[in-house]
Amino acid sequence: MTNVMKTQVGIIGAGPAGLLLAHLLQISGIDSIVIDGKTREDIEGVVKAGIIENPAVEVLVESGVTTPEQLAGVRHDGVEFHFDGHTHRFDFKSLINRSVWLYPQHETLIDLIAARVRAGSEPLFEHLAEDILDADTDHPRIVGKTVSGEPFEIQAQMVVGADGSGSIARKAVNGSQFAGFFREYPFAWYGILCEAPPSSEELIYSRAEEGFVLISTRTDKIQRMYFQCDPELDASTVSDAEIWEKLQRGVTGTTLKQGPIFRKDVLRFRSFVAEHLNKGNVFLCGDAAHTVPPTGAKGMNLAFSDVLWLNEALREFFTTGSRALIEKYEENALNRIWKAEHFSYWMTSMLHVAPDATEFDKHRQLGELYMLTESEYGNKLIAEGYTGWAYGASWK
């Protein structure tokens, strides 16, 4: 027997995008069901960080997801660029009076899930969406199975694919999972987690001779660092000594505080924007709609921008019956999506050394870094992009 449920908005994916959308819709009195193939423990237990931009912080705090206390102590008022033996600090506060927060993303998820539970609308975990049926009608259905094999169906007026880069919802909107615009990169990141105190108060993005290095942090005791590597590299083949050498060579004037490395992984990335973000009553948002390379940490912030546009469009539809903002969703969301796609691509190409880079390419790249860092306008451009452009839609 298929378990049939009914709701106004069926949301596939209990990640930051799907959960924030459900939260904001509920504030406007709109009912939704969020489903996810994973368990609640899996979603809440994977320790993840995210940089949240100034506008995203405002939404999370004002809509009651996060408290200012939770954000205390993780505010970053600048980042450093290291290149060609130079260090340069982009001072966000003095440049544009903004900041970012290096935030434990899993805590946002814990809070968002708690908000759903309080609203009496706990996400359905271990519910794996398989397809969206009747996608071109005004009563689309999400069909799937629970992990124990029981079929379910969610009958909704609107369906949202917030189901990440492996999105099944893309097919209903674009005819295939792959229709869209791609860019591959000839490098990846080798990432480590280690037990050590922070080496730097702020993030260091470095364009070193051998390529990119990033010094980031998780907590007072756990650090996250990356260096550029071949996407085919097997993470287990690199010794701890080699890792520390590569990382240390990447930074100027900072001695890295070393400690036991307890995780090593190779992260591949690419740029992608789906051809369309909406067809009829089915929508894509977050990583289902687009992915960016991690340089610049735009992913979650961009998901929130989509969610605000979508929330506004669905709120208008359910309160007035008008589809005007629904028709504008794709155009509205794509403006910021392509700006963030550009920013992430630009940060990536400016700070990585392509395997086939010529001497001309390398000198040009340093020219670009000097041009930017020596210019007041260049500094402001990076500060504005990094801390995030204002959201076009309001959550209220």
- Catalytic positions: 76, 205, 294, 298, 386
Residues in binding contact with ligand PHB, number by CB under 6 A: 9
Nearer to ligand PHB, 310 or 347 (CB): 347
Compare residues 87 and 219 and give the one whose CB is closer to ligand PHB: 219
CA 229 to CA 42: how far, in whole Å? 29
Smallest gap from Cβ 226 to ligand PHB, in A, equals 7
- Token reading at 147: 């992990």
Which residues sit opposite 59 in a β-bridge?
none
Considering only 213, 285, 297, 333, the residue that binds ligand PHB (CB under 6 A) is 297
**CA atoms in the 13 A half-sphere facing the CB of 271:** 22
Q: How far is the CB of 340 from ligand PHB (least distance, A)?
A: 12
User: Which span (60-68, 254-262, 293-301, 323-331) binds ligand PHB, by CB under 6 A?
Assistant: 293-301
Binding to ligand PHB in span 131-150, by CB under 6 A: none
Q: By Cβ distance, which residue is nearest to ligand PHB?
A: 216
Q: By CB under 6 A, is residue 292 in contact with ligand PHB?
A: no
Q: Residue 286 or 294: which CB sits closer to ligand PHB? A: 294
β partners of residue 155: 6, 141
Q: Which of 180, 296, 385, 388: binder of ligand PHB (CB under 6 A)? A: 296
Strand partners, 131: 143
Segment contacting ligand PHB by CB under 6 A, of 18-26, 88-96, 263-271, 289-297:
289-297
CB of 114 to ligand PHB, least distance (A): 24
- 36-53 in b/e form (b: 16+ CB < 10 A) is bbbebeebbeeeebbbbb
List the one residue from 16, 294, 385, 388 that touches ligand PHB (CB under 6 A).
Answer: 294
The answer to the question of residue 224 lying near ligand PHB (CB under 6 A) is yes
Which CB, 295 or 379, lies closer to ligand PHB?
295
Q: 125 vs 212, which CB is nearer to ligand PHB?
A: 212
Q: How many helices (H) and strands (E) does the chain have?
A: 12, 20
Among 258, 282, 58, 254, CA closest to 173: 282
- Which one of the spans 165-173, 193-201, 233-241, 292-300 is the region binding ligand PHB (CB under 6 A)? 292-300
Least separation in angstroms between residue 103's CB and ligand PHB is 10
CB nearer to ligand PHB: give 45 or 367.
Answer: 45
DSSP codes joined into one string, 65-105: SS-HHHHTT-EE-EEEEEETTEEEEEEHHHHHS--EEEEEH
Dihedral, 206, 344, 203, 233 alpha carbons, nearest 10: -60
Q: How far is the CB of 58 from ligand PHB (least distance, A)?
A: 20
Task: Please say which residue, 121 or 348, places its beta carbon nearer to ligand PHB.
Answer: 348
Instruction: Encode 289-320: b = buried (16+ Cβ within 10 Å), e = exposed.
Output: bbbbbbbbbbbbbbbbbbbbbbbbbbbbbbee
Contacts of 159 (CB under 8 A, 6+ apart): 9, 10, 11, 12, 132, 135, 140, 141, 142, 169, 172, 281, 282, 283
Per CB under 6 A, the list member of 216, 271, 311, 332 interacting with ligand PHB is 216
| 303-362: contacts with ligand PHB (CB under 6 A) | none
Please tell me the distance from the alpha carbon of residue 178 to that of residue 175, in angstroms, as a whole number: 9
Range 47-106, binding ligand PHB (CB under 6 A):
49, 51
Q: Which residue, 33, 9, 38, 26, is CA-closest to 115?
A: 26
C-beta of residue 200 within 8 angstroms of C-beta of residue 78: no
Binding residues for ligand PHB (CB under 6 A): 49, 51, 203, 216, 224, 294-297
